[in-house]
């Protein structure tokens, strides 16, 4: 039966109705015109496919509300979170061009209306305040990364549930953050809820103690762990200024963190700068921060710093470098959209002494924060 069938089939080949030029007689050398026809056909098909992909991509980026977070968004980042590293690395080749939008928001609207620099005359009458070397490790502008460990360990922490608003939930009542930032969290998430009506935002993690980080680091030890889990002492969560958002989904969602800052939630990632927060591990800055893109990890640095970082689309490490170039004689002056004018400058720690005289204005309110690297940042509110 089979033999008979196969003997009868050659005639059926004609159902393909290929033009003669595509019919190859394999018993003879293939004529040049046939080779040419095949190559030309392959070329035309490739061009067509390329055009279709190009038009599709252009259409997507043109209509996407959040180009960075949505367009390339990647099933890859889906299952990632700091404590459950995914084997598939999200590498920097993944659209560094979208990193600007990721951090500065797709609207392109700047949070600061003007940035300039000024001599210290702008401070008016000044005096000095003495700061010790250990003070370098404290304040909302401390840089904590794989090179600079946290000197905080719980002393500034408040439980969020004691002061939280109703616009979000907590993974449990033990979640704490630096007490000063709870108001900012409340305001940001209240504004988000009133805009979009979403009520499934959850703060999954805030302060993590050194001991917790030891356990987490040991649990997750594998080749990729240092991309997602900080070594004990080097986690920003230990400062209390960082927290992770998650979604409290009815069906429980997937394992790991469900918050990706997409759809309506992109509003939070685009506007967090107004409330003093930054996306600490932006896309495209992996080489600088030492961590993969984490749209769920927010860090408080306070205004106007958060606004400058968002506007410029830079990592916190890069901002600290910028500040190191602005002493009191070359201070950064930033005006925000509320009409508030800020003056920011850096004072290097005195290497010859255990304490440093930090210049401050007499007539304006100011804050001094250590940078946890080499000195102090003074933030003055001029108006
Ligand atoms: Zn985190």
User: 81 in a domain, yes or no?
Assistant: no
For residues 97 and 197, the model is more confident at 197
For residues 24 and 225, the model is more confident at 24
Is the same domain home to 131 and 26? no
User: 293 in a domain, yes or no?
Assistant: yes
- Can you tell me the distance from the alpha carbon of 22 to that of 37, in angstroms, rounded to the nearest whole number? 8
pLDDT at 66: 33
Is the same domain home to 22 and 142? no
Instruction: Indicate which residue of 236, 286, 294, 307 is catalytic.
Output: 294
- Ligand 1 mean position, distance from CA 297 (Å): 4
Is the same domain home to 192 and 49? no
User: 85 in a domain, yes or no?
Assistant: no
Which of 87-96, 195-204, 358-367 is least confident?
A: 87-96
- Ligand 1 mean position, distance from CA 294 (Å): 8
Length of the chain: 383
Provide the residue range defining the domain that includes 56: 18-63
User: 6 in a domain, yes or no?
Assistant: no
The dihedral built from the CA positions of residue 20, 24, 25 and 28, taken in this order, carries a sign that is: positive
User: 142 in a domain, yes or no?
Assistant: yes
- Whole-structure pTM value: 0.72
Per-residue pLDDT reduced to its tens digit, 47-60: 687 677 666 665 54
The whole-number average pLDDT for the span 298-319 is 98
Is the same domain home to 34 and 103? no
For residues 43 and 149, the model is more confident at 149
For residues 78 and 172, the model is more confident at 172
User: 230 in a domain, yes or no?
Assistant: yes
Per-residue pLDDT reduced to its tens digit, 224-244: 656 678 888 999 999 999 999
pLDDT at 82: 42
Nearest to 301, CA basis, from 144, 129, 109:
144
The whole-number average pLDDT for the span 145-156 is 94
pLDDT at 59: 54
- Can you tell me the distance from the alpha carbon of 44 to that of 50, in angstroms, rounded to the nearest whole number? 10
The answer, yes or no, to whether residue 85 has pLDDT greater than 90, is: no
User: 291 in a domain, yes or no?
Assistant: yes
Active site residue 294: yes
For residues 230 and 304, the model is more confident at 304
- Can you tell me the distance from the alpha carbon of 133 to that of 23, in angstroms, rounded to the nearest whole number? 83
Per-residue pLDDT reduced to its tens digit, 196-208: 997 799 999 999 9
- Ligand 1 mean position, distance from CA 301 (Å): 15
- Can you tell me the distance from the alpha carbon of 241 to that of 181, in angstroms, rounded to the nearest whole number? 7
Is the same domain home to 197 and 117? yes
The answer, yes or no, to whether residue 320 has pLDDT greater than 50, is: yes
Per-residue pLDDT reduced to its tens digit, 277-288: 999 999 999 999
Domain count within the chain? 2
- Ligand 1 mean position, distance from CA 296 (Å): 7
DSSP state of 65: S
Nearest to 366, CA basis, from 298, 314, 304:
304
pLDDT at 346: 98
Q: Are strands 169-170 and 201-205 parallel, antiparallel or unpaired?
A: parallel
Whether 238 and 73 have beta carbons less than 8 Å apart is answered as no
For residues 95 and 15, the model is more confident at 15
Highest mean pLDDT among 117-126, 222-231, 300-309: 300-309
Is the same domain home to 40 and 165? no
Domain of 217, CATH number, reads 3.30.1380.10
Is the same domain home to 99 and 179? yes
Query: Terminal CA-to-CA distance of the chain, rounded, Å?
Result: 95
- Can you tell me the distance from the alpha carbon of 152 to that of 241, in angstroms, rounded to the nearest whole number? 10
pLDDT band at 302 (very low <50, low <70, confident <90, very high): very high
pLDDT at 331: 97
pLDDT at 357: 97
The answer, yes or no, to whether residue 222 has pLDDT greater than 90, is: no
290's torsion region: left (phi>0), alpha (psi -120 to 50) or beta? left
DSSP state of 71: I
Give me the torsion for CA of 365, 311, 144, 155, rounded to 10°: 40
Contacts of 244 (CB under 8 A, 6+ apart): 81, 82, 203, 204, 205, 206, 257, 259, 294, 296, 297, 298
Q: For residue 185, count CB atoms less than 10 angstroms from its CB and return exposed for 0-12, middle for 13-18, buried for 19 or more.
A: buried
Q: How many CA atoms lie within 13 A of 251 on its CB side?
A: 3
Which of 176-180, 214-218, 342-346, 373-377 is least confident?
A: 214-218
Is the same domain home to 37 and 176? no
For residues 62 and 371, the model is more confident at 371
- Partners of 202 in the β-ladder: 169, 246
DSSP string, 21-54: GG---TTSPPPHHHHHHHHHHHHHHHHHHHHHHH
Query: Average pLDDT, whole number, for the chain?
Result: 82
- Ligand 1 mean position, distance from CA 295 (Å): 9
Q: Which residue has the tokens 């920003």?
A: 236
Helical (H) or strand (E) element with 376: strand 375-381
- Ligand 1 mean position, distance from CA 179 (Å): 17
- Ligand 1 mean position, distance from CA 206 (Å): 8
Per-residue pLDDT reduced to its tens digit, 100-119: 333 444 456 899 999 999 99
- Ligand 1 mean position, distance from CA 150 (Å): 14
């Amino acid at each position: 039966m089979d033999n008979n069938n196969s003997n009868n089939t050659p005639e059926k080949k004609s159902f393909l109705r290929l033009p003669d030029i595509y019919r190859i007689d394999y018993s003879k050398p293939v004529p040049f015109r046939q080779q040419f026809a095949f190559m030309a056909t392959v070329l035309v098909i490739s061009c067509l496919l390329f055009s279709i992909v190009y038009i599709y991509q252009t259409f997507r980026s043109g209509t996407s509300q959040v180009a960075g977070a949505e367009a390339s968004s990647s099933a890859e980042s889906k299952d990632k979170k700091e404590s459950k590293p995914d084997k598939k690395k999200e590498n920097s080749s993944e659209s560094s061009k979208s990193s600007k939008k990721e951090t500065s928001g797709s609207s392109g609207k700047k949070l600061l209306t003007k940035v300039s620099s000024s001599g210290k005359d702008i401070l008016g009458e000044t005096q000095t305040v003495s700061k010790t070397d250990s003070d370098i490790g404290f304040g909302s502008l401390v840089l904590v990364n794989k090179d600079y460990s946290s000197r905080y360990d719980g002393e500034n922490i408040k439980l969020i549930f004691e002061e939280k608003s109703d616009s979000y939930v907590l993974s449990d009542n033990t979640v704490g953050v630096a007490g000063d930032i709870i108001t900012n969290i409340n305001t940001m998430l209240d504004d988000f809820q009133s805009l979009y009506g979403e009520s499934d935002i959850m703060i999954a993690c805030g302060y993590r103690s050194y001991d917790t980080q030891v356990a987490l680091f040991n649990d997750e030890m594998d080749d990729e762990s240092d991309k997602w889990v900080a070594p004990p002492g080097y986690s920003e969560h230990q400062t209390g200024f960082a927290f992770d958002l998650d979604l409290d989904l009815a069906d429980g969602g997937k394992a790991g963190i469900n918050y990706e800052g997409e759809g309506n939630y992109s509003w939070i990632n685009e506007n967090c700068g107004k409330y003093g927060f930054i996306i600490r591990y932006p896309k495209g800055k992996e080489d600088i921060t030492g961590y993969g893109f984490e749209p769920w990890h927010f860090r408080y640095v306070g205004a106007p710093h958060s606004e400058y970082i968002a506007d410029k689309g830079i990592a916190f490490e890069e901002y600290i470098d910028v500040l190191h170039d602005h002493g009191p004689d070359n201070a950064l002056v930033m005006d925000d959209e509320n009409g508030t004018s800020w003056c920011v400058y850096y004072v290097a720690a005195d290497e010859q002494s255990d304490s440093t005289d930090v210049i401050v204005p007499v007539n304006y309110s100011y804050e001094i924060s250590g940078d946890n690297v080499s000195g102090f940042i003074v933030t003055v509110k001029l108006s």
